[in-house]
Structure 1
Amino acid sequence: MDKLLTYLNSLAPGAQRDFAQRCGTSIGYLRKAISVGQRLGESLCINIDRESAGAVRCEDLAPSVDWAYLRRSALQAVAQPEAA
């Protein structure tokens, strides 16, 4: 969560609101989650990773999730599409 806080603090207030909105949440929710050490849902983690252009990675937000496995699974699915 430290990386998320650092990232948010690097943005102007309007950019913080825009970032949170693109992630599907509010800046208030993100700040509250950071302050209490709340676990973020996987979908929100992915949105934050995407919208921060990798500055805040899923692994930073939810280290208990096996993101490497999920990424490998996604790559395999793209490489081996289902037969029609």
Structure 2
Amino acid sequence: MNKVIQRALSIVGSQKKLADICGVSQPAVHKWLNGGLVSPEKVSAIVNATEGKIQAHEVRPDLPDLFPHPQRTVDAA
């Protein structure tokens, strides 16, 4: 189970509500929750839906060039 999506759901309230905010179907959110990857285009929608409580690098840590970890960015500077 994807702990980041699980946290997003606890913040937003339901799979349906997150789906509506992100412009996807509820089954798509269910897929994210159970190991499916969130498309890069939907990452910012999750960040916005959670009012920044979930950060982009948490949703897709496998894409550090697109969604760098803020601490690593500071360290690199």
> Given the two structures, how large is their TM-score scaled by the length of structure 2?
0.66
3-state DSSP class of the match of 1:32?
helix
* Matching residue's letter, 1:56: I
How far the C-alpha of 1:10 sits from its partner, in A, is: 4.8
Q: Could you say if the C-alpha distance between residues 28 and 61 of structure 1 is closer, same or farther in structure 2, counting changes exceeding 3 Å?
A: same
List runs of 5+ in structure 1 lacking aligned partners.
73-84
Tell me how far apart the structure 1 counterparts of residues 23 and 47 of structure 2 sit (CA, whole Å): 13
Within-5 A mapping of 1:33-72: 33-35=32-34, 37-65=35-63, 66=65, 67-68=67-68
Tell me how far apart the structure 2 counterparts of residues 60 and 47 of structure 1 sit (CA, whole Å): 13
| Residue-pair matches, total | 67
The structure with the larger Rg is 1
Corresponding residue of 2:23? 24
User: Higher helix fraction: Structure 1 or Structure 2?
Assistant: 1
List runs of 5+ in structure 2 lacking aligned partners.
none
How far the C-alpha of 1:27 sits from its partner, in A, is: 2.5
Share of identical aligned residues, percent?
18
How far the C-alpha of 1:57 sits from its partner, in A, is: 1.6
